[in-house]
């Protein structure tokens, strides 16, 4: 798959997820072989008002490039301003626009998947962004608002006409949120309706899922979201599989422990001694899903407040001992 100056031979991308795909996790996913990470969505209003937390979300490191930065907005003016700011900042290589977030607080402002119900405003926004930036520009959308208003094919055609370089389709409606099954057939209809690349998103968790979604949709690339939470190894596995056909095993307990410590250390670096360990709690519970004593571990991790707390838990339950410096 080609996107602007970039070419991806094993295009399995990390989906943007609020509160998950920050710099720390993106670096880990990139190290595991993810060729393109999408950052968690950033508010155009936050950029306009120079909100400190918002602007901090636009920072990146060389270790995670190439990187796609995602913005959301309700008006063409705000979207164009934010897009131009991101391009000028130079911390991302690709700009993505969010038309898929189902969160009520986003939708009530006319942002995210609310735009699937307002095609004219959505296309005005996409056109404004295209005029504002020269960098590769993609859009992520759902298949529609609900089952009675599935309009993704028409929206995709109009997005292509507006100058978008690629489209990601999450195969659910807004009303589904993350329930039920992604409609891969509908994603395939989008792929056949446009000439730009389409990235298929939804329910890719295994090697067989990867085979099936590529077969059904015909898409050039696949995006992995919730299946990557606590499982960055999925990128090593799926990209290796696309290149060689070989199915690698999952991580060992030692590998899990090592990545938990690395993730924690990155959060400490970027978010500090107070926020870092507290954000690590949810990641640690994801990293230990499905293992023996999982419930006990979750309880312990959710009480951890320091790096030492995490190391003690890992030493007891993983027999992990940090290498000497």
Per-residue three-class SS string for 207-259 = HHHHHHHHHHHCCCEEEECHHHCCCCHHHHHHHHHHHHCCCCCCCCHHHHHHH
Omega cis (within 30) before 165:
no
For residues 59 and 172, what is the distance between their CA atoms, to the nearest angstrom? 30
For 83-101, the DSSP string reads: HHHHHHHTS-SEEEEEE--
Which two structure tokens, joined as six digits, stand for 236? Answer: 């090593």
Residue environment code for 239-267, b if the CB has 16+ CB neighbours within 10 A, otherwise e: bbbbeeeeeeeebeeeebbbbbbebbebb
Bridge partners (DSSP) of residue 154 are none
**Residues labelled catalytic:** 101
The residue written with tokens 């038309």 in the block is: 99
Residue environment code for 31-41, b if the CB has 16+ CB neighbours within 10 A, otherwise e: ebbbbbbbbbb
Strand ranges in 17-152 using DSSP code E only, listed in sequence order: 37-38, 42-43, 67-72, 94-99, 137-144
Q: Evaluate whether 39 touches 270 at the Cβ level (below 8 Å).
A: no
Which two structure tokens, joined as six digits, stand for 210? Answer: 């990867």
Q: Evaluate whether 36 touches 14 at the Cβ level (below 8 Å).
A: yes
Q: Are strands 6-7 and 137-144 parallel, antiparallel or unpaired?
A: unpaired
Neighbours of 150 (CB within 10 A): 18
């Amino acid at each position: 798959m080609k996107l602007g100056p970039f070419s991806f031979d094993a295009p399995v991308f990390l989906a943007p997820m609020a509160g998950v795909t920050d710099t720390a996790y993106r670096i880990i996913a990139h190290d595991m072989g993810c060729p393109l990470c999408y950052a968690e969505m950033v508010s155009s209003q936050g950029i306009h008002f120079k909100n400190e937390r918002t602007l901090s979300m636009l920072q990146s490191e060389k270790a995670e490039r190439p990187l796609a930065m995602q913005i959301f907005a309700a008006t063409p003016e705000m979207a164009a301003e934010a897009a131009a700011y991101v391009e000028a900042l130079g911390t991302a290589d690709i700009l993505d626009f969010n038309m898929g977030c189902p969160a009520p607080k986003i939708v009530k402002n006319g942002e995210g998947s609310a735009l699937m119900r307002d095609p004219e405003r959505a296309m005005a926004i996409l056109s404004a962004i295209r005029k504002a930036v020269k960098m590769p520009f993609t859009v992520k959308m759902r298949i529609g608002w609900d089952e009675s208003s599935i309009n993704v094919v028409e929206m995709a055609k109009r997005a292509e006409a507006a100058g978008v370089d690629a489209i990601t389709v999450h195969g659910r409606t807004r009303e589904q949120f993350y329930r039920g099954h992604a409609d891969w057939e509908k994603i395939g209809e989008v792929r056949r309706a446009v000439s730009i690349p389409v990235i298929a998103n939804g329910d890719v968790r295994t090697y067989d899922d990867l085979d099936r979604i590529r077969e059904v949709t015909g898409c050039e690339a696949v995006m992995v979201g919730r299946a990557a939470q606590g499982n960055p190894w999925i990128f090593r596995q799926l990209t290796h599989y696309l290149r060689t056909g070989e199915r690698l095993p999952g991580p060992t307990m030692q590998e899990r422990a090592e990545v938990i410590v690395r993730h924690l250390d990155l959060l400490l670096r970027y978010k500090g001694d107070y926020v870092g360990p507290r954000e690590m709690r949810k990641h640690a519970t994801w990293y230990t899903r499905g293992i023996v004593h999982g419930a006990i571990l979750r309880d312990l991790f959710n009480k951890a407040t320091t790096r030492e707390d995490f190391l003690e838990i890992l030493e007891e339950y993983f027999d992990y001992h940090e290498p000497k410096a």
